[in-house]
Amino acid sequence: MTAKAALVKALLDGKILNIKNCFQTIGLTNCPREVSRMVEQPFNVQVSRTHREGKSRYGSPVIWVDYRLNRTPYNEEGIKKMYEYVEKNSTFKKSPSNNNSQESLFKN
């Protein structure tokens, strides 16, 4: 799966992304740039940005932004395109739906 497909799938799955977890799970080091370039522009959707504040483990103030795909009427058409994109660019294949026995996996 490409990094773009992984980013799109994470947002479609309802995950809230930020710089830290985007790097850890997808491998993208600049989540703000990639959300804009890989998701918002090509699929014409709006990803919400929530500014957060906290403290580091050492007590220093830290700020970050969480990114989330909203299920709004504005995003509806783009979300359909996103699902199509993930399906085309995913390396994960669906298991057989009719017969899930091991024998059916080896029949031509």
Q: Rounded to two decimals, what is the model's pTM?
A: 0.77
Q: Which of 33, 18, 16 is nearest to 63 (CA)?
A: 18
pLDDT tens digits, residue range 43-93? 999 999 999 999 999 999 999 999 999 999 999 999 999 999 999 987 755
Pairs from 49-56 (Cβ < 8 Å, separation ≥ 24): 52/18
**What fold, for 3-93?**
Arc Repressor Mutant, subunit A (1.10.10)
Q: Where are the domains of the chain?
A: 3-93
